Amino acid sequence: MAFEAAQPPETGAMSGTGMPDGGAASTPGTPLPSGASGRRKQATTMATLKKRLLVGDEEVSRLEEEGRKAIKLATKPQVSDQYKTYKNKVVLQPGTLDSPNVKKLIDLILDWLNEVLAERRILLRDFFEDFCDGQILTELLEELTGSNETRESALALSEGDQRVKLSRVIEYVNRQLRIFDEEAKWSVEAIYLKDPLATLHLLVALSRLFEAPIDLPRNVRIRALRMEEVDDKVIHEEIVEEITGSEDGFGNRIPDKDVFDRLFEQAPDKLQAVENSLLTFVNKHLAKIKVEVVDVGTQFHDGVNLIHLMCLLERYCLPFCSYNVRPKNLDQKLRNVKLAMQLMADSGVTLPPIKPDDIVHKDLKSTLRVLYGVYSKFKFYR
């Protein structure tokens, strides 16, 4: 049987989709349209295809927009409806934590907190992150007061439980401070949301309430940015918050500037000469017990050399049980310095208006003031 070869269609070249270039779609066995009616049908078909393409583009755009909204919603922090009334957020201005006074304030409070919590094997690392759930504050208050009034039977894991726990802690603190909630510069919401200003205010208040052996720097002010949501708009406001004022927390005003303030501020070149003179005086007497001081700022902070100096100058001995010969913690050092300053006062030394913890925290200016008082009293002593 003979077979006839299939003849190709007598139309234009086929496109890659199986359609003739410029032609309408056809099905097998259906003749292509021709003439005027064919052209009309072809134009109608092309218009339909274009409309479908346009509708397809709109659908793609709509789906892309919905995808973007879904991603934005998924990544937005979720806050329960119960606490959506808290519309303010405070952010520290860049470089704020690099300020010497701010750094000193934070370091002093952290050192004190870590020393108090050391018995509980708790080490604080982040000043603003570690207090938000109330757990550390509970441990701290138990250690400082000996009371377990803020202790919960179960560990608070959920957001709601943490806020309830924190609420009880803040209520307890406010009662101890004898202030109303409205008077406090902190709140449950602010502490939970890690507001840096509220956290600082709270910890400064606690350090003063429990008379922490630290000398907080005066006149600490912090630059921050307060963001407030109003009618779905965020309003930014630059603020300067005063954390500590011109008092030491116990109502004591800062004394007027003395000669050492002027030396530090106006004549630092002469400061070294004064320091050398005091070192010569001190070493002349401490050499009798084979002790040499080379750094005024660090070798008197535990009070031991101050006690030895007064014993040598007044020619008496103190039993070792009356002070800590090798103090290991802040409290022992503070007791030594207090004893040394009492011995000075009993000997008629005119003491400057400083606190003992100024010496403990290696404040050079305070140490020089104390040594100068001793020198003025005993400079002619042989």
- pLDDT single digits (tens) 288-347: 999 999 988 889 999 999 999 999 998 888 888 889 889 988 888 989 999 999 999 888
Q: Is residue 101 part of a domain?
A: yes
Same domain, residue pair 270 and 228: no
The residue from 173, 207, 242 where one domain ends is 242
Per the structure block, which two tokens stand in for 344? 């000075």
Count H helices and E strands in the chain, helices first: 12, 3
CATH number of the domain to which 277 belongs: 1.10.418.10
Q: Is residue 41 part of a domain?
A: no
Same domain, residue pair 296 and 355: yes
Same domain, residue pair 230 and 138: yes
The residue from 209, 242, 275 where one domain ends is 242
The boundaries of the domain holding residue 122 are 88-242
CB distance 205 to 216 below 8 Å:
no
Same domain, residue pair 235 and 312: no
With a cut of 60, say whether residue 7 has pLDDT above it: no
Same domain, residue pair 227 and 282: no
Same domain, residue pair 158 and 295: no
Same domain, residue pair 144 and 208: yes
Quickly list H helices, the chain: 35-75, 100-117, 135-145, 159-177, 188-192, 196-209, 259-266, 268-286, 304-314, 330-346, 356-360, 364-378
Please tell me the predicted confidence (pLDDT) of residue 133: 80
For the CA atoms of 57, 59, 63, 69, the dihedral, rounded to the nearest 10 degrees, stands at 100
- Residue-wise pLDDT tens digits, 68-118: 555 444 443 333 333 333 456 788 888 888 888 888 998 899 899 999 888
Q: What is d(CA 347, CA 342) in angstroms, rounded to the nearest whole number? A: 9
The residue from 242, 274, 291 where one domain ends is 242
Same domain, residue pair 354 and 323: yes
Q: Is residue 370 part of a domain?
A: yes
Higher pLDDT, 195 or 182: 195
83-87, 155-159, 214-218 — most confident range:
214-218
Same domain, residue pair 161 and 276: no
Q: Is residue 353 part of a domain?
A: yes
Same domain, residue pair 264 and 190: no
Q: Is residue 93 part of a domain?
A: yes
- Rounded to the nearest integer, the mean pLDDT of the chain is 76
Q: How many domains does one find in the chain?
A: 2
Q: Is residue 251 part of a domain?
A: no
Q: Is residue 158 part of a domain?
A: yes
Same domain, residue pair 234 and 337: no
Question: Strand 88-92's sheet: what is its strand order?
Answer: 88-92, 221-230, 233-242
Q: Is residue 5 part of a domain?
A: no
Same domain, residue pair 194 and 150: yes
